Amino acid sequence: MASSLLNASRNLVRNALRSPTSSVPAVRAAAISTSLSRDSASAHFKSPFVGQSKGADIPDFGKYKSSVPSDRNALYGYFMVGTMAAMSAAGAKSTVHEFLVNMAASADVLAMAKVEVDLATVPEGKNVIIKWRGKPIFVRHRTADEIAEANKVNVSKLRHSEADSDRAKKPEWLVMIGVCTHLGCVPIGEAGDYGGWFCPCHGSHYDISGRIRKGPAPLNLEIPEYDFPEEGKLVIG
């Protein structure tokens, strides 16, 4: 089979070489006609993209348009916005509330914020020491003589001028923070040169009203916040 095809191709070449005047024009004519047909086909071809810019054709979204009136759509939008605002406000309130609860003092700290004292257990002329917020509190049930002694002192000559009436809401009850104003020591009651309190650390002497009379302490013993809510009861804090 292969040999017959080879022989046929050789015969065609020989015939073409023997008669060049008749074959070559036919071949040329066939080539020209082929090129003309291509030119004519390309001349009649029209590209669908000629003369159009990108995005020139805008799609129609009319079928997606709502048939409901615009005011009803606006009402729905307002409802959604209001609902989201209410939910956001509730979430913010809850967050702030939890934060404040966590920052608030614990139950044991709140229990120490106020101390209640039964004054019936403190005899006249005696001191009691209680603990309030980690500090000692002196509660003195003063006698009439002690009150008179505290009031006859010339306040203008004191280092820290303070009248006894400014330090005691009730004359018979003196309430003070038992911390020396010099270096924070705890003075001893019913001691010192003035019959009040004495700090043995550096020798500060306080009178029966807790006022500094002698020694390095610069100020009188501090008076805390306290009140008498009812007869025979003292609340500190």
Count: domains in the chain: 1
49 domain-assigned:
no
SS3 183: coil
User: Could you tell me the pLDDT band of residue 41, with boundaries at 50, 70 and 90?
Assistant: very low
158 domain-assigned:
yes
What global pTM score does this model have?
Answer: 0.54
58 domain-assigned:
no
97 domain-assigned:
no
Name the residue range of residue 121's domain: 113-236
| pLDDT tens digits, 199-232 | 999 999 999 999 999 999 999 999 999 999 999 8
R_g over Cα of the chain: 56
To the nearest 10 degrees (0 to 180), the angle between helices 20-44 and 2-18 is 100
203 domain-assigned:
yes
Q: Is 189 exposed, middle or buried (0-12, 13-18, 19+ CB in 10 A)?
A: middle
| pLDDT tens digits, 97-112 | 888 877 776 666 666 6
Query: Which residues are part of the catalytic machinery?
Result: 202
Domain at 138, CATH number: 2.102.10.10
For the chain, what's the residue count? 237
